[in-house]
Amino acid sequence: MAEPKTKYDRQLRIWGEQGQTALEKASVCLLNCGPTGSETLKNLVLGGVGSITVIDGSKVELGDLGNNFLVDESSVGQSRAKCVCQFLQELNDAVKAKFIEEHPEALIQTNPSFFSQFTLVVATQLVEDSMVKLDRICRDANVLLIFARSYGLTGLVRISLKEHTVIESKPEHFLDDLRLNNPWPDLRGFAETIDLDVSDPVEHKHTPYVVILVKMAQEWAKCHGGKLPSTREEKKEFKELIKARMTAIDEDNYKEAIETSFKVFTHRGISPELQQIINDSRSEVDSSSSDFWVMVAALKEFVANEGGGEAPLEGSIPDMTSSTEHYVCLQKIYQAKAEADFLVIDQRVRTLLKKIGRDPSSISKATVKSFCKNARKLKVCRYRPVEDEFNSPILSDLQKYLTDEDYSVAGGFYILLRAVDRFAANYNSFPGQFDGVMDEDISRLKTTAVGLLSDLGCNGVTLTEDLINEMCRFGAAELHAVAAFIGGIASQEVIKLITRQFVPLSGTFIFNGIDHKSQLLSL
């Protein structure tokens, strides 16, 4: 067996050893192991999830061979859960795998406490009634839950849990934490030791842009009542002042200063998003508070006191044109400030833990350090109960989705995926599932969809005939290509939730295979 570090090398580069450890400790339960469920679990098993439990009461049929790669001809007539579980185990023998041959709907109804043993439940191909019941169960047990469903050329993925907090949100684009508009004494002092008018051309072209911008911003503020450039004209003038300091055409450091001058124009202090988090009622901590909210409480105190309105410094600087000596000095200045900020917050965390009756060492220094490094990028995600969304969606948004040209197909599929469940409850089959009744099913589905829209308060909103016809033509089929895509999205969200890295989907993800579009509906 390959060593874990070799085996998982590529993904370790994305979510690190901490993320991989969380994955290897997780236990995941899959409900229904058709193609959508099998594809989801395949990705997690290959990724090294700790243990899996497959729940499915069906036998493998000939039709399964056409859309599920985890069964073969020898599987026909056998337990689908058992066959899929065996194939998955072959993909990664480090994963503990077991199966239960029972229909998920029966388990939800008769043994709700069963689900409390898992880190996360992936529920695939469930109808609306079972989704609502399972959501209640998992919320009460604080178990993470993801719904995934593929239906013909459409599908959905929806996360449901009370709250999910993220420290390592890893945004693709985020402004460097350089504090050019609010330098602390050590950075200001270092900048003052460097002369921008130095006569040596080599030294002039190797002055780091951080120093250039700090000094130029100070000069500007002196002449403008302590204020930095704010209007378009002032920003243009500021750039021209930097350009005027150039003594040669090939001075890349000054070009960098001009290109990054916008970092001087940003607002001081914390972002509105971070302000909202530290103002959250959960930042008033007690013995039941999570580690995240204890650290947020410490951050709140820091911002109001030692931070002077700022979050702790991240402590890293980007690559830039500079002499080695200047660059190393800058690195040390930023790292020293970040370390000092960390020590203050760490002490505040210990004090708060003691105050609420918890062990002061119960949050590791490594966790606090990671929190400080990522303090500007914290995320808190909260999800409405599925029942609330189904019974009372945000009406204005739903109407927008159904009538907006860009969203109307995704909105239509969202309604129709719910309408087919009502249809099945009334007629004991999904529309288009049997030959010879297509026209009748189209009419019935249209009536069902109109009734659902009326119940939701969308009177007068109609779905296109083409979309209703397509939904019937799908016949509730799970196409492998769509199932693989939906399974890929679902497994990606599972990893985000378990590793607590990256930001998970915040609404209902709808895949539109007709137009090759994916959209997120927040209802």
Taking residues 381-397, report their average pLDDT. 94
Q: What is the dihedral of CA 54, 57, 62, 63, to 10 degrees?
A: -80
More confident residue, 516 or 1: 516
Taking residues 494-521, report their average pLDDT. 96
Closest Cα partner for 165 from 376, 384, 383, 379? 379
* Burial (CB count within 10 angstroms: exposed 0-12, middle 13-18, buried 19+), residue 355: middle
* Amino acid at the residue 405: E
pLDDT value of position 482: 97
pLDDT value of position 267: 85
pLDDT value of position 440: 94
Average pLDDT over the chain reads: 94
**Most distant CA pair in the chain, distance:** 90
- Residue 178 · residue 257 · CB < 8 Å: no
Taking residues 190-207, report their average pLDDT. 93
d(CA 79, CA 99): 10
Q: Which residues contact 109 (CB under 8 A, 6 or more apart)?
A: 133
pLDDT value of position 2: 55
Helix (H, G, I), strand (E, B) or coil at 505: coil
Supply φ then ψ for residue 163, to 5 degrees. -155, 140
Beta strands in 293-412 (DSSP E): 379-382
Cα 271 to its chain centre, rounded Å, is: 19
Q: pLDDT tens digits, residue range 2-36? A: 566 678 888 888 888 889 999 999 999 999 999 99
Tokens for 189, please give them. 């002092």
Whether 130 shows a pLDDT value over 60: the answer reads yes
pLDDT value of position 157: 98
Work out the percent of the chain whose per-residue pLDDT is above 90: 86
Taking residues 88-108, report their average pLDDT. 94
- How sure is the predictor about 462, in pLDDT bands with cuts at 50, 70 and 90? confident
Whether 1 shows a pLDDT value over 50: the answer reads no
CA 486 vs CA 258, 383, 426: distances in Å: 45, 20, 27
pLDDT value of position 3: 63
pLDDT value of position 9: 83
Whether 226 shows a pLDDT value over 80: the answer reads yes
pTM here is 0.91
Taking residues 500-508, report their average pLDDT. 95
Q: Which residues contact 17 (CB under 8 A, 6 or more apart)?
A: none
Taking residues 409-425, report their average pLDDT. 96
Bridging pattern class, strands 120-124 and 163-166: unpaired
Taking residues 400-429, report their average pLDDT. 94
- How sure is the predictor about 266, in pLDDT bands with cuts at 50, 70 and 90? confident
Whether 144 shows a pLDDT value over 80: the answer reads yes
Instruction: Tell me the three-class secondary structure of 468-490, residue by residue.
Output: HHHHHHHCCCCCHHHHHHHHHHH
Q: Which residues contact 69 (CB under 8 A, 6 or more apart)?
A: 35, 38, 480
Among 129-133, 262-266, 381-385, name the one with the lowest average pLDDT.
262-266
Whether 394 shows a pLDDT value over 50: the answer reads yes
Tokens for 321, please give them. 């044109």
Name beta bridge partners: 520.
509
Supply φ then ψ for residue 309, to 5 degrees. 90, -5
* Host H or E run for residue 164: strand 163-166
- Residue 137 · residue 347 · CB < 8 Å: no
